Amino acid sequence: MHQRITLTLLILSVASINQTLSAQTKAKVEILHANTGEQRANLGPNVQLLLGDVKLKHENTIMHCDSAYLHKHQDSTFIEAFHHIHIIQNDSIHLFGDKLTYNTVEGIARVRDNVKIEKQDITVLTEFLDYDRIKNFGYYFNGGEVLSGQNTLISDWGYYYPDVSEVHFKDSVVVHNPRYTIFSDTLKYHTVTEVATILGPTFIHSDNNLIYSENGHYDTMNDKAHLLKGENQSYVQGSENLLKGDTIYYDRQKGLGEAFSNFELHDTTNNLIITGDYGYYNELSEYALATKRAQLLQIYQNDTLFLHADTLQAIPLPQEESKLVKAYYNVKFFRTDMQGRCDSMVYDFRDSTNTFYNSPVIWAQENQMTAQTIKLYSRNNELYKAELINSAFIISPEVDSLLFNQIKGRNMVGHIKNNEIYRIDVDGNGQTVYYPKDEDIVIGVNRAESSNLSIFLSEKQITGIKLRTEPAGNLNPPYLLPAEDVRLQGFIWLEKIRPKSKLDIFKHVEMPRMDEYTKVYDDYQFGDTEN
């Protein structure tokens, strides 16, 4: 037992000696040069004053100054140095300033006034800097700037880590570059790659656009950004367009922005928004594409059109300073006063025209319109004309939905005011079936035909019809004829596939086959030449 205690004491004694030697080694400061060195009684017995071209060494660090006080203790040395401070760390990092305090055990050099750090092409400028020589990083806390390539980075707080070539900036961060300026809350900057890591709300201003992000990276050397979603979405805002997304890849030189998840492109000039799960936009050519739950939002004065298709494109017309928006495959749209379906659609900004292709069907309040092609014309964001081209057909049900007013012809033009059709002009093979009323009571069924005719409406009811060429027709008592005899050939009522809300445009509902609903009059043959 006595031997074990003695051995333990010996081990502790050796450890204590090693710690003492280590402390003494850390405390040792070599005086490599000084013009004069002296000890003054008024400074104390352990203080040495060095004057003139002072050069000191502590481990792998060299210190230059004009004058210095060395406060020597058993396990540490405290240095106060003045004027023309120059510290060289590991032969690669140069630290300059006017004042220095340094404790050999703590290993932190506190440099004040006209402070500068240089390493290769990186320069740090500040008035207050603490440099941890042991962990090899420096930090300022009262404002500073970093010069790197074409970038000047300014912040209230900054941490420089030369071993990993990084500077961390906090509070009032500003990055000046000839092409843009970055304003940030928190930023990390890699001094070799010149890539800025965005760690907080950040704005990047340039002559062409504004970038906002709370998370991501910006390659300042190659002008490329990878922006991620923080609490808010990242975006790239130009003079006329705004690109948003959960993830954005942006190439400033190519003008290309690519967004994944919740892609949004806002055309602020034309009150248009394109969305999708994926999309991209070229701000130089102004071409855009959206897919995967792609949606077009067309904003009118008092309403918004919601349109969905497999793919949406915005195609510029540079010579005319205009553009086209194309929607193709499985197009469905909803507006409170109008809904529709078709295979494809083109919106032409030159004349504010929506053209629907391949057997479209459009519901305008109680009216159902079908044709091979339908065009809707707008003026000042208000619809004023609908053009039905080839096999035009308009159906409007009565209150009980068993009787249907019908207008059919080769081509039709519907004139619209205050979102209501007030006149319909039919050109070629015009045919009508409608139910005249007397004080809201149906008094008969009127069937008529004319090569050209016009129908007049008021408060959604037919008030008159004008047969222009070779008119023919008759009036029968109501409810006398069976339903199939008062329906024009090609009659089909498609209410069950009508989008009832903006969410319905994403529901898949099969379009019924038109030929299954074709009916012909038994007692009245119009001789329709279009069939």
Structure-token pair, residue 482: 């069976």
Greater pLDDT, 112 or 396: 112
pLDDT at 470: 66
Q: How many beta carbons lie within 10 A of that of residue 520, not counting itself?
A: 16
Q: How many beta carbons lie within 10 A of that of residue 344, not counting itself?
A: 18
What's the rounded Cα separation, in Å, for the pair 32 and 201?
50
Q: What is the mean pLDDT of residues 469-489?
A: 70
pLDDT 10s digits, 314-334? 999 988 888 999 999 999 999
pLDDT 10s digits, 241-258? 999 999 999 999 999 999
pLDDT at 365: 78
Percentage, residues of the chain above pLDDT 90: 59
* Residues forming a β-bridge with 414: 386, 424
Q: Which of 6-10, 40-44, 141-145, 316-320 has the lowest mean pLDDT?
A: 6-10
Greater pLDDT, 52 or 16: 52
Phi-psi region of 530 (alpha: psi -120 to 50; beta: other; left: phi over 0): alpha
Per the prediction, the chain carries an average pLDDT of: 86
- In a 3-state reduction of DSSP, which class is residue 469? coil
pLDDT at 523: 35
> How sure is the predictor about 18, in pLDDT bands with cuts at 50, 70 and 90?
very low
DSSP 8-state assignment for residue 487? S
What's the rounded Cα separation, in Å, for the pair 196 and 153?
10
User: Pseudo-torsion of CA 451, 408, 471, 415, nearest 10°?
Assistant: -80
pLDDT at 400: 61
What's the rounded Cα separation, in Å, for the pair 220 and 152?
11
Q: Distance of CA 486 to CAs 236, 406, 457, 530, Å?
A: 58, 9, 20, 20
Which of 152-166, 259-273, 411-425 is predicted most confidently? 152-166
pLDDT at 467: 81
> How sure is the predictor about 27, in pLDDT bands with cuts at 50, 70 and 90?
low
Find the length of the chain. 531
Residue 15: pLDDT above 70?
Answer: no
pLDDT at 28: 87
Residue 530: pLDDT above 70?
Answer: no
Structure-token pair, residue 45: 């017995």
Q: What is the pTM of this model?
A: 0.79
Q: Which of 42-51, 52-61, 86-95, 512-521 has the lowest mean pLDDT?
A: 512-521
What's the rounded Cα separation, in Å, for the pair 339 and 333?
5
What's the rounded Cα separation, in Å, for the pair 120 and 93?
8
pLDDT at 82: 97
Cβ contact 504:495 at 8 Å: no
Which of 96, 95, 69, 94 minimizes the C-alpha distance to 81? Answer: 69
pLDDT 10s digits, 491-525? 889 999 999 999 999 998 887 765 444 333 333 33
Q: How far is Cα of residue 230 from the mean position of the Cα atoms in its chain?
A: 12
